[in-house]
Amino acid sequence: MDSESKRRHIFISHHHADDAEVDKLVSLLSRSGYDIRNSSIRAKPANQRRLEQGLVKDETIRRLLRMKISWAGTVVVLIGKDTHSRPWVNWEIEQANKQGKRIVGVYIRGGTEADKPPALEKYASAICGWDTNCIMAAIDGTANSFQNPDGSPRQAAHTRTSLTC
């Protein structure tokens, strides 16, 4: 398999406090030979302060996020302690659904069922524990597994699935 066939364009939706987990996910998948291209927004501290102070218009943020989600083949949602309470994460999931993207939830270490954003349970194609095989099968559309945070199987809350063509 050549490097082109191992390349994946994804958008990783996450709470900015979980930026280190984004790096861990990319590293986990890279160790298995995948070339992960992530289009998610990682605000530098000065820009994060501008966002928190409301100095960037919401429409500007929405336009940028729509473009970055559009570029990605799959949207991966990191499920951490505060993910469920982040309005932008929920908006990104809704936007990914509108664009017909595969949406894959991934529990970070310590993530719980209660941490899932409402839109993820509604629109996810798969939800995985911290397991390379499950995550890559979900990104590629070869499996639509739903797991608990510990990796044990569970029922999907809906019947939506999407496959990558």
Q: In whole angstroms, how far apart are CA 94 and each of 45, 65, 131?
A: 27, 12, 25
| Mean pLDDT score across all residues of the chain | 88
Q: In what order do the strands lie in the sheet with 102-107?
A: 35-38, 7-13, 74-79, 102-107, 126-128
Distance of CA 59 to the CA centre of its chain: 21
Q: Which of 18, 152, 150, 148 is nearest to 81 (CA)?
A: 18
Whether 47 shows a pLDDT value over 80: the answer reads: no
Question: Per-residue pLDDT tens for 118-129?
Answer: 999 999 999 999
Percent pLDDT > 90 in the chain is 64
Give the pairing type, strands 7-13 and 74-79: parallel
Q: What is the pLDDT, as a whole number, of residue 53?
A: 75
Whether 164 shows a pLDDT value over 60: the answer reads: no
Beta strands (DSSP E) in the chain are 7-13, 35-38, 74-79, 102-107, 126-128
Q: Which two three-digit tokens encode residue 9?
A: 């364009």
Whether 159 shows a pLDDT value over 70: the answer reads: no
Task: Identify the sign of the CA torsion 91, 24, 39, 69.
Answer: negative
Mean pLDDT of 152-162: 72
Question: Per-residue pLDDT tens for 77-103?
Answer: 999 998 989 999 999 999 999 999 999
- Band (pLDDT 50/70/90 cuts) for residue 144 is very high
Q: Enumerate domains of the chain plus CATH numbers.
A: 4-140 (3.40.50.9200)
User: Do 83 and 115 form a contact (C-beta atoms < 8 A)?
Assistant: yes
Q: What is the pLDDT, as a whole number, of residue 165?
A: 46
Q: Helices 87-98 and 58-71: crossing angle, nearest 10°? A: 50
Mean pLDDT of 35-50: 78
User: Do 32 and 132 form a contact (C-beta atoms < 8 A)?
Assistant: yes
Of the two residues 58 and 161, the one the predictor is more confident about is: 58
Of the two residues 134 and 165, the one the predictor is more confident about is: 134
Distance of CA 127 to the CA centre of its chain: 10
